[in-house]
């Protein structure tokens, strides 16, 4: 990407988009195009068409999406499939119509079959049934991957797809009903510590295993792939290492300094038993993560404003 290129980061205020912005700014890029969701509804086809016609971005990072944890995905099923399909359909199609040089589409590790072999290789896509709780979201993201490949095949567009593992970092969502497991646990432990609660209840059995990547590492990988990768298909972005939810809860308890007891609510869903990325394809292209999980969590806990204040009601 040329330093003077016009770069549109869709979703620039979210955890992923803001990390990509920080990375590009650090690399010397200055010509950014931003719109908040209030300024531009990416589900609105005519509005997106007008935006691309007026702004003419050279490069697009498609990090805008409707996202959430198990409960949000399961309850708001129609919203998750509709919003995500509309966002990506509009941005990808207008990128083609307006001659965007390269687009990077961000998916999610939930695209893989629920019982796919571990670790998850890129070729396992569409080889089995999805996890039911987040199937609408996953189907939207699979459609995005296939759409990028179809536009590459038919029109020669240089559109690439990346699938990050579970992410955490600055600007994460800490809402207890709609957030992912790591930020939710951080908030629960923090509030329990501040309020001197004797116990913290955690959903599930604690046995599922998950992989976690710091958002700044993801941004570094996305920048690297925008510079070096020009192929169809998708690329996993992760650490290639995982921990059980029980181990994660205990690690967060240690970082926060909460001295009470963790209680497991086995009546709540566990989700997919394991989601570990095979990152050998990315490693072959020359990239590897750098942020250790405990170091990354500690950094988040020490810097995020939500943990510097009184408990959230």
Q: List active site positions.
A: 137
14 is in an annotated binding site: yes
210 is in an annotated binding site: yes
Q: Are 243 and 209 in contact, with CB atoms under 8 Å apart?
A: yes
167 is in an annotated binding site: yes
Angstrom CA distances, 22 to 81, 170, 175, 242, 292, stand at 29, 11, 24, 26, 20
Q: Are 197 and 260 in contact, with CB atoms under 8 Å apart?
A: yes
Q: Are 160 and 107 in contact, with CB atoms under 8 Å apart?
A: no
Q: What are phi and psi of 69, to 5 degrees?
A: -85, -165
149 is in an annotated binding site: no
Of 234, 80, 198, the residue nearest 88 (C-alpha): 80
Non-local (6+) Cβ contacts of 39 within 8 A are none
296 is in an annotated binding site: no
Of 119, 94, 95, 92, the residue nearest 107 (C-alpha): 92
16 is in an annotated binding site: yes
Angstrom CA distances, 61 to 187, 203, 264, 287, stand at 29, 34, 39, 19
First and final CA of the chain: distance in angstroms?
A: 45
Q: Are 277 and 236 in contact, with CB atoms under 8 Å apart?
A: yes
270 is in an annotated binding site: yes
17 is in an annotated binding site: yes
106 is in an annotated binding site: yes
225 is in an annotated binding site: no
108 is in an annotated binding site: yes
Residue 168 burial (CB < 10 Å; 0-12/13-18/19+)?
Answer: buried
107 is in an annotated binding site: yes
15 is in an annotated binding site: yes
156 is in an annotated binding site: no
311 is in an annotated binding site: no
Place of tokens 């579970």: 166
Enumerate the known binding-site residues for NADP(+): 11-17, 106-109, 141, 164-167, 180
Known binding-site residue numbers: 11-17, 106-109, 141, 164-167, 180, 188, 203, 210, 270
* Binding-site annotation: residue ranges for substrate: 188, 203, 210, 270
């Amino acid at each position: 990407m040329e330093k003077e290129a016009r770069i549109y980061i869709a979703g620039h205020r979210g955890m992923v988009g803001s990390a990509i912005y920080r990375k590009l700014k650090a690399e010397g890029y200055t010509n950014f195009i931003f719109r908040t969701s209030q300024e531009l509804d990416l589900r609105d086809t005519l509005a997106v068409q007008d935006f691309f016609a007026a702004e003419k971005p050279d490069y697009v990072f498609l990090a805008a999406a409707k996202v959430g944890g198990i409960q949000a995905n399961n309850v708001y099923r129609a919203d998750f499939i509709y919003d995500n399909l509309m966002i990506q359909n509009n941005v990808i199609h207008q990128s083609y119509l307006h001659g965007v040089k390269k687009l990077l589409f961000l998916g999610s590790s939930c695209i893989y079959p629920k019982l796919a072999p571990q670790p998850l290789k890129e070729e396992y896509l569409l080889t089995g049934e999805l996890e039911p709780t987040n199937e609408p979201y996953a189907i939207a993201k699979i459609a995005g991957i296939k759409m990028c490949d179809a536009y590459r095949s038919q029109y020669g567009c240089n559109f690439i797809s990346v699938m990050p593992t579970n992410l955490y970092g600055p600007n994460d969502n800490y809402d207890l009903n709609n957030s992912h497991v790591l930020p939710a646990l951080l908030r629960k432990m923090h509030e329990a510590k501040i309020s001197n609660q004797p116990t913290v209840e955690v959903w599930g059995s604690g046995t599922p295993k998950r992989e976690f990547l710091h958002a700044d590492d993801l941004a570094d990988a996305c920048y690297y792939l925008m510079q070096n990768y020009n192929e169809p298909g998708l690329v996993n972005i992760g650490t290639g290492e995982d921990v059980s939810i029980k181990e994660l809860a205990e690690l967060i308890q240690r970082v926060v300094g909460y001295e009470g007891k963790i209680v497991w609510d086995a009546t709540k869903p566990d989700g997919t038993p394991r989601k570990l990325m095979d990152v050998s394809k990315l490693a072959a292209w020359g990239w590897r993560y750098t942020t250790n999980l405990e170091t990354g969590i500690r950094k988040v806990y020490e810097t995020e404003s939500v943990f510097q204040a009184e408990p959230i009601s």
